[in-house]
Structure formats: C-alpha cells, structure tokens
C-alpha cells in the first residue's frame, strides 16, 4: 500500500460514536473531545465477541426454522406454521411475490448473514490478503440487510393481536418465534461488534 | 488535526481540504462515506422532526387494522401488536417488537427535539453528548420500514379469512417511515456536529 497512510500509523483514531478523527498515540482508550464517547483504536475484543454471538445465532437458527412460529386454529382445522410452511401457504394462495419476500427475508437473509460473517471472521483469523474491497462490500451488505429478517416477527405480532380471541380463529405464538427473534438480534449484534478495519489491517501490515 | 480525516471503515488517512456546504465525500480506498454535509438549516431539520412527531401521535391514536367478519369487528393499534405477544407469554419478543416499531422511533424524535431546539438559539443542550450517543446507538433498531412490509404480509394472510380494513394508523405510520428516512438523509450525524461546532464557540 505505497503512498497510502493509515490513521494508526499517524497516531489517529476514529470515534465510533461521532466519527471525529482523534489524535491519541498508543493503544489505550481515550475520550472523544467532540462527543465525549470512549474511543478505541479498534473495537475491543471484536473477533471473540462476534464469534460468540455468531455461534449462538447459528445454533438458534435450527429451532427457529424447525419449531412452529405460530399455531392457528380455525373452524376447519388446526395448523402449526413454521417459517417455511408459512411461505408455502402464501404460494398456494397464489401470492408468490410475497412468498418470495418472506422466503428471502426470513430464511435466506439470516443464513447469508451467518455464513458471510463466519467467512469474514475466518479471513481475519487466517490473515487472507486477497480481495479486501470485495469482502468489505460483503460486510456492508450483511450489515444493511440484517434488519429485514424482522419482517416475519412483525407479521406474527399483528396476526396474534387481531385474531387472538376472535370467533373465527385463534392464533397462538409458537416457540419458533422466540428463537427466530433471538437470531435476528444476535446476528445484528454480531455485525455491530465486527470491526471492518481488521480486514484492511492485514494488507496494511504486510 | 482538523486537516486530516481518517476513514472509520478502513483506517485510511485523508487530507481534508475544505468543508463544502453540500458535499458527499467517500474514502478513496474502500468507498465508505467519510462525511456528508447538506445545505440545510436547523429549521429544515426541525420541520421534519415536527412532522414526524405529529405522524407518530396519529399512528398511536388510531387503529392500524380492523378485521370484519359477519358484522363483528376487531381492531389493533401499533401498541396492540406488542401487547398481544406479551399476553401470550412471549415477553422478550414483545419487547423486541415494542423497541423496533415504537420505542426507537419515539426516542429518535424526542432526542432530535432535545438536541436541535437549543442549537437554534445558539446554545447547547445540557446532556447533548450523552443524548447524541444514545441517538446513534438507537438508530439501527428503529425499523418502521420493515414493520410496514410485515404488516402487508399479515394483511394478505388475513384477507383469506375475513374482511380487512386498513386504519388511519397504517397510513400515518407509512408516512412516518418516509419522514424518518428523510431525516436520516438530510441530517446525518456529521451534519449535527457541523451545526453544533459552527454555532457554539
């Protein structure tokens, strides 16, 4: 990286709260002169925190998909809905654009987040130097799309509120919804605790 | 020190020549946005915060959706969505829905009022720094746009069972989503400090 100088080499760091450039030699945390927040050279324990949150999310992804998120009782039948069976019902009703939306938001996005963050962590642990820009693009994508997994949780909350004790049907929340909500929160926290600069540090040191 | 700006995403140092009134500056190496300033006044931003507050009040005063079957009606409000989950014993999920759909947007509106009103009078809010940091921490958890799509999915599912009547709150909440997004675009964090440092000497 000839001609390019990093903040760390100049004794400068960026405040994570207000993004002010702060001059502070060494590695001890200091206070931001602009917003008063604590400023670190790199997010503390970034890799370990991200890995722990990610492992928990990956584990909970299984019950989130296997357990019913909702039990629905109508005049005609009782139905246990998992995330996937909810998608299939939408397809049967001919609502395929919505089915695709729920499938992507609830099944593809969490899985993609878990796989992508695992790969990014691995690349930092192993010190891979190739295609850093591509990997940082991937991280930003993961960070951006993560929130969309909440879609099904919101849909369930409205269904429950409307059909709770009505004459025509009863909807009970299932344990899958709890696991699913946890996956969304854990993957969001995992992305937040990952320090993107670690991807670039490998190249900057070599 | 003010003449160097370091990229928050890849740590590359850049020389900062001049702060233009309206500019979007990206890192030359990783493409992350270094800062963005707009030619907007504090009053412009406050006008958006006022509209957000009005839309938030409307969204919580009217039903979101009403269900009709053979002459019997049942409706729910925004808050009702979280209460339903809570009453079925799913307090953590209820808390998550409450935070992301209602509490985070509300705190965002209150925090912006608290920060911007004193700035208009060339003063500085007493807990400015603490509230600013709370605001940046909160922003990722406000998800009105995701809630709107979730509501759409729920309405389509219910339309198979009964008559679905969208309420005032559904429309005002949709508008709130747009205003909050506009606010994030028009008054990003960097803009706030641009105002704060320009006014308070």
Kindly write down the DSSP assignment for every residue of A113-157, as one continuous string: HHHHHHHHHHHHHHT--TTHHHHHHHHHHHHHHGGGGGHHHHHHH
Phi, psi of B124 (to 5 degrees): -135, 130
Count of CB pairs separated by less than 8 Å, A with B: 205
Give A 104-143 residues with CB within 8 A of chain B. Answer: 105, 132-133, 136-137, 140
Dist CA A79 CA A203 (whole Å): 54
Interatomic CA distance for residues A108 and A112, integer angstroms: 6
With CB atoms and an 8 Å threshold, state whether B97 touches A153: yes
d(CA A179, CA B74): 29
Domain co-membership, B53 together with B20: no
CATH class of A45-205: mainly alpha
Query: B160-173 pLDDT, tens per residue?
Result: 878 899 999 999 99
Measured in angstroms, the CA of B47 and the nearest CA of chain A are apart by 23
| A34 contacts chain B (CB < 8 A) | yes
What is the C-alpha end-to-end distance of chain A, expressed in Å? 9
**Same domain (yes/no): B108, B176:** yes
**B48 and B142 inside one domain:** yes
Complex ipTM, two decimals?
0.91
Q: Does A67 touch chain B (CB under 8 A)?
A: no
Nearest to B74 among A6, A36, A166 (CB): A166
Q: Are residues B142 and B51 in the same domain?
A: yes
pLDDT bracket for residue B15 (50, 70, 90): confident
Q: How far is B129 from chain A (nearest CA, A)?
A: 5
User: Quick one: pLDDT band at residue B135, thresholds 50, 70, 90?
Assistant: very high
> Residue ranges per domain, chain A?
1-41, 45-205
Examine the domain organization and report whether B4 and B49 are in the same domain: no
For chain A, the DSSP string reads -TT--BTGGGTEEE-TTT--EEE--SSS-EE-TTT--EE-SS-TTHHHHHHHHHHHHHHHHHHHHHS-SEEEEESS-EEEE-HHHHHHHHHHTT-HHHHHHHHIIIIIHHHHHHHHHHHHHHHHHHT--TTHHHHHHHHHHHHHHGGGGGHHHHHHHHHHHHHTT-SSEEEEE-HHHHHHHHHHHHHHHHHHH--THHHHHHHHH-
Which residues of chain B make contact with A201, given a CB cutoff of 8 A? 11
Q: Is A157–B30 a contact, with Cβ atoms under 8 angstroms apart?
A: no
**Record: contact A14-B6, CB cut-off 8 A:** yes
| Residues B106 and B77 placed together within one structural domain of the fold | yes
Condensed to tens digits (0 to 9), the pLDDT of residues A92-148 reads: 988 899 999 999 999 999 999 999 999 999 999 998 878 899 999 999 999 999 999
Q: Which of A74, A98, A204 sits opposite B153 (nearest CB)?
A: A98
Beta strands in chain B (DSSP E): 4-6, 13-15, 23-26, 33-37, 65-69, 72-76, 163-166
Residue B22 has a pLDDT of 73
Tell me what pLDDT residue B18 has: 66
Of B10, B133, B190, the CB nearest to A200: B10
For B78, which residue in chain A has the nearest alpha carbon?
A158
Total count of domains within chain B = 2
Is B76's CB within 8 Å of A162's CB? yes
Is the same domain home to B24 and B74?
no
CB pair distance less than 8 Å for A12 and B88? no
Residues of B in contact with A172 (CB under 8 A): 88
Whether residue B77 is found in the same domain as residue B30: no
* Secondary structure letter of residue B127 according to DSSP: T
Residue contact B132–A90, C-beta within 8 A? no
* A73-82 mean pLDDT: 82
Contacts of A151 in chain B (CB under 8 A): 146, 149-150, 153
What predicted TM-score, i.e. pTM, was given to this entire model? 0.92
Q: Taking CB atoms and an 8 Å limit, are B8 and A200 in contact across chains?
A: no
> Which residue range is the domain that position B7 belongs to?
1-37
Please identify among residues 168-187 of chain A the ones whose CB lies closer than 8 Å to any CB of chain B: 168-169, 172-173, 177-178, 181-182, 184-185
Chain segment B83-120, per-residue pLDDT in tens: 999 999 999 999 999 999 999 999 999 999 999 999 98
> Does one domain contain both B114 and B22?
no
- Nearest by Cα to B108 from B143, B82, B68: B143
């Amino acid at each position: 990286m000839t001609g390019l100088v990093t903040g760390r080499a100049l004794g400068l760091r960026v405040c994570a709260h207000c993004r002010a450039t702060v001059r502070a030699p060494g590695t001890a945390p200091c206070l931001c002169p602009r917003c008063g927040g604590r400023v670190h050279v790199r997010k503390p324990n970034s890799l370990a925190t991200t890995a722990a949150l990610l492992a928990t999310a990956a584990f909970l992804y299984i019950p989130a998909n296997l357990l019913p998120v909702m039990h629905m009782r109508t005049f005609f039948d009782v139905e246990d809905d998992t995330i996937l069976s909810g998608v299939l019902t939408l397809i049967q009703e001919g609502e395929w654009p919505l089915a695709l939306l729920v499938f992507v938001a609830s099944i593809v996005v969490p899985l993609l987040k878990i796989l992508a963050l695992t790969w990014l962590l691995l690349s930092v642990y192993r010190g891979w130097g190739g295609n850093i820009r591509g990997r940082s693009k991937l991280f930003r994508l993961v960070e951006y799309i993560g929130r969309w997994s909440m879609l099904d949780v919101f849909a369930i909350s409205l269904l429950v509120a409307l059909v709770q004790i009505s004459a025509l049907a009863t909807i009970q929340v299932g344990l899958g919804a709890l696991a699913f909500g946890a996956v969304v929160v854990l993957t969001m926290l995992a992305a937040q605790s990952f320090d993107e600069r670690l991807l670039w540090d490998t190249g900057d040191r070599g | 020190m003010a003449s160097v700006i370091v990229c928050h995403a890849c740590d590359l140092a850049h020389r900062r020549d001049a702060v233009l009134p309206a500019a979007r500056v990206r890192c030359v190496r990783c493409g992350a946005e270094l800062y963005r300033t707009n030619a907007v006044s504090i009053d412009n931003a406050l006008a958006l915060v006022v509209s957000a507050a009005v839309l938030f009040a409307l969204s919580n005063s009217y039903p979101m959706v009403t269900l009709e079957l053979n002459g019997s009606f049942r409706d729910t409000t925004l808050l009702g969505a979280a209460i339903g989950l809570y009453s079925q014993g799913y307090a953590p999920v209820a808390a998550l829905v409450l935070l992301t759909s209602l509490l985070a947007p509300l705190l965002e509106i209150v925090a912006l009022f608290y920060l911007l009103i004193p700035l208009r009078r060339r003063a500085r809010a007493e807990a400015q720094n603490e509230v600013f940091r709370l605001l940046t921490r909160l922003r990722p958890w406000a998800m009105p746009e995701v809630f709107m799509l979730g509501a759409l999915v729920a309405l389509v599912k219910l339309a198979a069972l009964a008559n679905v009547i969208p309420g005032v709150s559904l429309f005002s909440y949709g508008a709130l989503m747009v205003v909050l997004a506009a606010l994030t675009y028009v008054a990003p964090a960097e803009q706030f400090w641009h105002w704060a440092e320009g006014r308070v000497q």
